[in-house]
Amino acid sequence: MSTRNNLCDFVLFGGHGDLAFRKLMPALYHLCKDGYLAEKSRIITVSRASLSNDEHISLVKEKLIEFLPSNSFTQEDFSRFEKKLFYVSVDFSTNEGYKKLQILLDEYDERDRVNYLSTSPKYFAGICQSLSKCNLIKENSRVVLEKPLGKDLKSSQEINQKVLEYFNEDQIYRIDHYLGKDTVQNIMALRFSNRLFVHLWSSNHIDHVQITVAESVGAEGRWGYYNEYGAMRDMIQNHLLQLLCLMAMEPPCSLDANDIRDEKVKVLKTLRPILPAQIASRTVRGQYTAGSSMGESVPGYNDAQETQSNTETFAAIRVDIDNWRWNGVPFYIRSGKRMQRRNSEVVIQFKTMPHSIFAEDNANSIVDNKLVIKLQPEESIELRLMNKIPGLSETMKLQEVNLELNAPHTDKRKPDAYERLILDVIRANPTLFMRLDEVEAAWRWADPIIESWENNLVPMKKYTAGTDGPTASVQLIAQDGRSWNDE
């Protein structure tokens, strides 16, 4: 493949953090290994530690061996990769050390430059200001912002306004790693390239939609972060709303980034506000207690902390979209930690057949059709249909069968979501990144819910670690005569 247009300096701020070592550096390693990074591209890590370049390279190698699958790392591939690795020590709190970065970047001043801010958002403004003072922001510069982008609309606007003082909106890439998953991107291909689904995708044929992102792990030592954000800010306001937008958006007029994002913004603007009087019937918040996960006893969320926290580790919400296509079709979204299993999926539940011609005992066994889009742990798309059971019985017997809509099996490694997103930034393709008005529209809908929870309009429900969440979440959907897809 050609890498002629992929030549850049990739500057990774906070490059010795957990995200950088677990996800970003492995993604860059694979992009290099697979030939997507130009030979002379550089990966410049910026962090506080006082390390030599050789010490940095040794640390990167150690972490790649730790976090990559054993069959992915080879010394031959790393020998090519390490030639791209450079290190600069900078203290983000004092902004000292940028002169060394300036000298290094000025060697190839004409190159495209990607600034990936894998740091706390409190450093975003200072980093951007220092880059500007050192004249390191060019027309072909880009900046990637990792979440969380604020705790509410006001703080999000403050962060974005600071960054916008130094970068134009079209230079800013707000990342949501869920959008880098192949199956998530395939939602658009499924919807907009198959006539079969075009006319089915509305309230005329769809009964409801479920979006679930469940994790079997707990906060795992991230108490400081998680106590500030919780499930609503950490998952619902960004990942799950982005999935909802892809499911509910109108066909864009093209695959141009702004055409797609225009349609997503329209969805967010039509989300029905949940009023304080409706909070108890439309939302559930929960926190896990001690239980069993993956065959081992685990403590409750508050058991592992010195202070008691009222942070939710589970959230479930009924979302309604006020437009012609989706009037009367509820979207049930939920996300939680220490759930029974790790599972992320979107379920499109079609309406019941208006009349059955089959015998009564058969008619009762007919299951409504579902389209199930699984995102993790394995990615797949299944269309669940009714089919005849083979045999010579007097009456026709029916059973539910799965029609798999997956690409042909291949032994080729599936790229990680961060590989796709990093490559898109290098290529200057913002399609899978959030525009400012998207972020703000999501916060405008989420803020009243968060405020109502903080005012305790919905009591915190407890659920045992290793289960499917609080029973109140079952009641949330059951009150509408429906049930979660917990197969």
Positions annotated as catalytic residues are 239
Alpha carbons within 13 angstroms on the beta-carbon side of residue 441 total: 20
Dihedral (Cα; 91, 93, 99, 104), 10-degree rounding: 60
Q: How far apart are CA 219 and CA 237, in angstroms?
A: 18
Residue 314's alpha-carbon distances to 27, 84, 231, 333, 464, in angstroms, are 30, 42, 6, 11, 11
What does the DSSP assignment read for 146-181? PSP--SSHHHHHHHHHHHHTTS-GGGEEE--GGGGS
Q: How far apart are CA 372 and CA 405, in angstroms?
A: 10
For helices 53-67 and 75-82, give the axis angle rounded to 10 degrees.
140
Residue 188 one-letter amino acid: M
Q: How far apart are CA 24 and CA 470, in angstroms?
A: 34
Beta strand 283-289 with 314-319 is antiparallel
Burial pattern 270-306, b for ≥16 Cβ within 10 A else e, equals bbeebeeeebeebbbbbbbbbbebeeeebebbbeebe
